[in-house]
Structure 1
Amino acid sequence: MNSIFSPGITLAALIALVAISPSSSASRLPSEPADLIVLRVPCFSDQRHQFYVQLLRSSLDAVRQSAQIKCVYDLPGRRMWKMVGDGKLDLIWGVQTPDKDKGMVPIQVALTDGLVGQRVLLIRPEDQKVFDSVNSIQALRETELVAGFGEGWFDAKVWRTNGLPVYEFPHQFSLIYSMVSIGNRGVDYLPRGANEIVTEAQQHKRLIIEKHLLFYYDRDMRFYLSPHAAAYKPIVENALKAAEASGLKRRLIDRAFGSDIKALNLTQRRRIQLQVLD
Structure 2
Amino acid sequence: MRLVYPQYFTVQDSTGDFDWIVLHAAMEKTAARFGPYKLSPSKEPLSVARLLAEMSYPEGSINVFARATDLELEKKFTPIRIPIDRGLMGMRLLVVRKDDLPRFAAIRTIDELKRLSAGQGQGWIDTDVLGAAGISVVVAPRPDALYAMLEAGRFDFFPRALDEASREFDMQHKTRPSITIEPTLMLRYPLPRYFFVRHDAEGDKLAARIRAGMEMMVQDGSLAALFRQYKGPLIERASIGKRHIIDLPNPLLPPETPLQRSELWFRP
> How far apart, CA to CA, are the structure 1 residues paired with 2:195 and 2:138?
26
- Post-superposition shift, 1:253? 0.8
Which residue number in structure 1 is paired with residue 141 of structure 2?
170
Residue number in structure 2 paired with 1:215 = 187
Q: Deviations over 1:121-160 (max 9, x none)?
A: 11222221221121111111113x2x22222111111001
State how far apart, in whole Å, the 2-side matches of 1:167 and 1:88 are. 33
Q: Given that residues 122 and 197 in structure 1 are in contact (C-alpha distance below 8 angstroms), is that contact kept between their aligned partners in structure 2?
A: yes
- Alpha-carbon shift at residue 95 of structure 1 (Å): 2.0
**CA distance 1:253–1:235, shift in 2 (3 Å):** same
Q: What is the Cα deviation at residue 276 of structure 1? A: 2.0
Q: Matched residue pairs, number? A: 238
Pairing partner for 1:129 from 94, 98, 102: 102
1:99-110 equivalent positions in 2, closer than 5 A: 99-110=72-83
RMSD (Å) for aligned C-alpha atoms:
2.1
Q: Tell whether 2:10 aligns with 1:40.
A: no
TM-score by length of 1: 0.78
Kindly, what percent of the aligned residue pairs are identical?
Answer: 21
Letter in 2 for 1:227: H
Work out which of the two has the higher radius of gyration on C-alpha atoms and give 1 or 2: 1
Q: What amino acid is the match of 1:225?
A: V
Aligned letter for 1:39? V
Partner of 1:188: 156
Query: Would the alpha carbon gap of residues 103 and 126 (structure 1) be closer, same or farther in structure 2, given more than 3 Å must change?
Result: same
- 1:272 to 1:45, Cα distance in 2 relative to 1, 3 A: closer
SS of residue paired to 1:227: coil
In structure 1, the residue matched to 2:170 is 202
Gaps of 5+ in 2: 253-268
Equivalent positions of 1:148-163 (< 5 A) are: 148-163=119-134
Distance 1:80 1:129 in 2: 41
1:13 is aligned to none
Greater relative contact order, per chain length (Cα 8 Å cut-off, separation 6+): 2
> What is aligned with 1:70?
41
Q: Which residue of structure 1 lines up, in the alignment, with residue 197 of structure 2?
A: 225
Aligned equivalents of 1:60 and 1:199: distance in 2? 28
Cα distance in 1 for residues equivalent to 2:45 and 2:147:
15
Provide the residue aligned with 2:92 in structure 1.
119
How far, CA to CA, are the matches of 2:102 and 2:18 in structure 1? Answer: 33
Residue 98 of structure 1 deviates from its aligned partner by 2.4
Q: Secondary structure at the match of 2:114?
A: helix
Distance 1:211 1:253, change over 3 A: same
CA contact (8 A) 2:6 2:45 kept: no
Q: Distance in 2 between matches of 1:164 and 1:170?
A: 19
Q: Secondary structure at the match of 1:51?
A: helix
Whether the 8 Å CA contact 1:77–1:152 is kept in 2: the answer is no
Q: CA deviation at 1:189?
A: 2.3
- Alpha carbons of 1:73 and 1:155: their partners in 2 closer, same or farther (altered >3 Å)? farther
Matched ranges for 1:52-91 at <5 A? 52-64=19-31, 65-71=36-42, 74-86=45-57, 87-91=60-64
Q: 1:187 to 1:78 in 2, by over 3 A?
A: farther
Residue 248 of structure 2 corresponds to residue 274 of structure 1: yes
The gaps in structure 1 that reach 5 residues or longer are: 1-35
Find the residue that maps to 2:183 and give its secondary structure: coil
2:255 corresponds in structure 1 to none
Counterpart Cα distance in 2 of 1:246 and 1:153: 33
Instruction: Give the drift of 1:163.
Output: 0.9
1:51 to 8, 12, 18: 18
Distance 2:212 2:127 in 1: 32
